[in-house]
A and B are shown apart, each in its own frame.
Chain A
């Protein structure tokens, strides 16, 4: 029998059930860790530490979760907050262009699907943190613009602008690398 998120959350709140919380972690660890890995430009160790902090915070703050929002969006909000706090604590963290963006590809080539996906992952690293977060949350995790605005704690218009700018940069980068990226 499969429990809904709401069942598991109720169980955690009523009797601090570790098994129920474990099931929630199992369900959401992948998107949260993938998001944090992308946001830290591939630093999976840091991403895992931040993800662990995210779930520990979620355990303590679960009573403040309002069922109106999606649980995943609520978790992304905590994760993004952890990332920002870590960025303040550790100046070396590459939140804002601290790591050199990957170099522009040299010339157009024919695109294959898998190579294109790899290059998209590289191209995402070249975006600013705000653009990357907005593109990943909406483009890869299916959040609405409104949900992303809540997660990123910024106005809706800013999210839309960041998505437009981010996608434009990605498009430019992929077009310069692959003459046929739109049909690959």
Chain B
């Protein structure tokens, strides 16, 4: 909410004051004084965390259950047969998502 407009000549005089200040290199000086950017930091952290999670998932994944003997068990959608596949899909998709986020960041 702005102050109410009045007919007071003093208000008009205050508003009419020319207060514009030319930039004159001010913005450049401010930008030069900003802390240096580290554009590699966040993508590196993101990718590193994703790789670690994917490696942990691969470590814990029950590989022997991915292709159980009598693979028709998969067809029967038994939870025991599907769980390792779900874990694998989750690990791969987190890796892909992390990589995509990094590439988008760099854009």
A residues with CB within 8 A of B? 15-16, 18, 21-22, 25-26, 29-31, 33-34, 37-38, 48, 51-52, 55-56, 59, 113, 116-117, 120-121, 135, 138-140, 142-146, 167, 170-171, 174, 181-184
Contact = CB atoms under 8 A, between A and B. Distances in A.
User: From DSSP, what is the main secondary structure of chain A's interface residues?
Assistant: helix
Q: Which of B11, B13, B27, B33 has the most chain A CB atoms closer than 10 A to its own CB?
A: B13
B23 interface: yes
A22 to B, nearest CB: 5
B29 A18 contact: no
B40 to A, nearest CB: 12
Q: Which of B8, B22, B26 has the most chain A CB atoms closer than 10 A to its own CB?
A: B26
- Contact-residue size bin, chain B (C-beta under 8 Å from the other chain): 20 to 34
B76 interface: no
Given A16-B37, A18-B34, A135-B14, A30 B1 contact: no
B22 to A, nearest CB: 8
A52 B30 contact: yes
A18 B29 CA distance: 12
Nearest to A181: B9
The 5 closest A-B pairs by CB, nearest first: A139-B14, A34-B19, A144-B1, A33-B21, A30-B21
Contacts of B16: 113, 117
